[in-house]
Amino acid sequence: MRLTALLGLGFLVASCAPAAEAPGETDMPAAPATLSAEDIAAVQAIEPAVAAALNAADTAGVLAFYADDAKLMPPDAPIVEGAEVRNVIVGMLRGGIADVVLTPVLTTGVGDLAYQVGTGSFTMGGTTHEMKYVEVLRKGADGNWRYVVDMFNSMAPPVEE
């Protein structure tokens, strides 16, 4: 009887003890939080603001949405970054870009990074172009979201040679 009581007490103590942690479990940092509804709304609000700045030929207004270390990937052109982004934007504005419409279809992210996928259209040289884009944005210390990667290209099928 005494042995049974001791065994029963041992099982009771063992079942009440906290579970052992898996190896390395305590070494893992907590996953960053997904974006809040406010952050998603702020990221989505950038598209109409950029479109408005492009339609107004406002170089400074467009560039305000790009981080200093941003990488821009326009169609059929090399990647440009940093200060060279300005030259591409100025070229688009001098080329007569107009009627810009940008429509996000997916916005998500974690921590201080967001990505956005969308479609859009613009007119240049009298022709309307349909496009698709993907962007990566980073939330700055000032709380503003800015593009760190901006890639866009045509929805038109490739031209056969």
pLDDT in tens, 98-119: 999 999 999 999 999 999 999 9
Do the domain assignments include residue 112? yes
Do the domain assignments include residue 147? yes
Structural tokens at position 46:
């950038």
Do the domain assignments include residue 121? yes
The DSSP call for residue 3 is H
13 falls in which pLDDT band (50, 70, 90)? very low
R_g of the chain computed on alpha carbons: 26
Please classify residue 69 by burial: count the beta carbons closer than 10 Å to its beta carbon, then call 0-12 exposed, 13-18 middle and 19+ buried. exposed
**In CATH, what number is assigned to the domain containing residue 123?**
3.10.450.50
Q: What is the mean pLDDT of residues 10-34?
A: 57
Do the domain assignments include residue 27? no
Please classify residue 48 by burial: count the beta carbons closer than 10 Å to its beta carbon, then call 0-12 exposed, 13-18 middle and 19+ buried. middle
Do the domain assignments include residue 16? no
Question: Which pLDDT tens digit goes with each residue over 57-100?
Answer: 999 999 999 999 999 999 989 999 988 999 999 999 999 999 99
Do the domain assignments include residue 2? no
Backbone angles phi, psi at 7, to 5 degrees: -65, -40
Do the domain assignments include residue 137? yes
Structural domain count, the chain: 1
Residue 63: predicted pLDDT: 97
157 falls in which pLDDT band (50, 70, 90)? confident
Do the domain assignments include residue 8? no
Q: What is the mean pLDDT of residues 7-35?
A: 57
Question: Which pLDDT tens digit goes with each residue over 34-62?
Answer: 999 999 999 999 999 999 999 999 999 99
Question: Which pLDDT tens digit goes with each residue over 135-155?
Answer: 999 999 999 999 999 999 999
Per the structure, the complete domain to which residue 147 belongs is given by 32-152
Q: How far apart are CA 31 and CA 81, in angstroms?
A: 30
Task: Tell me what percent of the residues of the chain surpass a pLDDT of 90.
Answer: 72
Residue 4: predicted pLDDT: 45
